[in-house]
Amino acid sequence: MRFKIKRRLLYLAFGAAAFLIAYSAGAAVPMTNEEAAQVRRDFMDQIGGIDQNGIFFNNVRIALAMFIPAAGAALGMFSGFATGNVFSAIANASPALSRIPPLAILITPFGILEVIAYGIAMSRSGMLIFRLVKDKPWRQGNGRPFFHNTLVPTFIEIGIVAAILLAGAVIEWQLIQQLGGLGNSLGA
């Protein structure tokens, strides 16, 4: 049991690292002022009128897609890249934010929770494809061990990710409210 927990934490670290690398790459992409303004407009259109529940449902929707075997890890990296790109666009318009390293936003309480949740989902995506190839559950008689050894832990992790993201959404929304709303907190 102890070995399985250590190994699972290692996979989580790989998933979180993949998300952080993709985020950093997205934040490093140079943009013209016009491109940054367009990214900010698109982002504000996407989150217009969002509240704590909207933050939660948006993040859970993204995280659930990250559980898809193999494709989920790629979706997670794309999400990290896009998030970094949005940070870069917002920093482009905010002199104060432009002096903050992009990864600093992810060391906030809600950022840490989101990285952990996405790390769990992305790493489970890789683990699922490995188990599907190794166990071949579609073969006669192999379904029950696959269900107990792979699907049950996956469903448990989906619940854990949802709980983590709920806590993160509550914290993020409280911070947004303290900063005076989304427009003010995003430098818009």
What are 166-184's pLDDT values in tens digits? 999 999 999 888 877 655 4
Q: State residue 187's pLDDT score.
A: 44
Round the CA-based radius of gyration of the chain to a whole number and report it: 18
Nearest to 59 by CA among 169, 154, 155, 173: 169
User: How distant is the alpha carbon of residue 131 from its chain centre?
Assistant: 23
- Find tokens 């870069």 and name the residue: 88
Q: State residue 184's pLDDT score.
A: 45
Claim: this prediction has a pTM higher than 0.85? yes
What are 28-66's pLDDT values in tens digits? 999 999 999 999 999 888 887 888 999 999 999 999 999
Residue 160 is which amino acid?
I
Q: State residue 182's pLDDT score.
A: 56
Decide if 62 contacts 1 (C-beta within 8 A).
no
What are 8-30's pLDDT values in tens digits? 999 999 999 999 999 999 999 99
Residue 32: phi, psi to the nearest 5? Answer: -75, 165
In this prediction, residues 70-95 reach a mean pLDDT of 93
What are 106-161's pLDDT values in tens digits? 999 999 999 999 999 999 999 888 888 876 766 655 556 666 677 889 999 999 99
Q: State residue 139's pLDDT score.
A: 64
Q: State residue 66's pLDDT score.
A: 97
Confidence at 2, pLDDT banded by 50, 70, 90: low
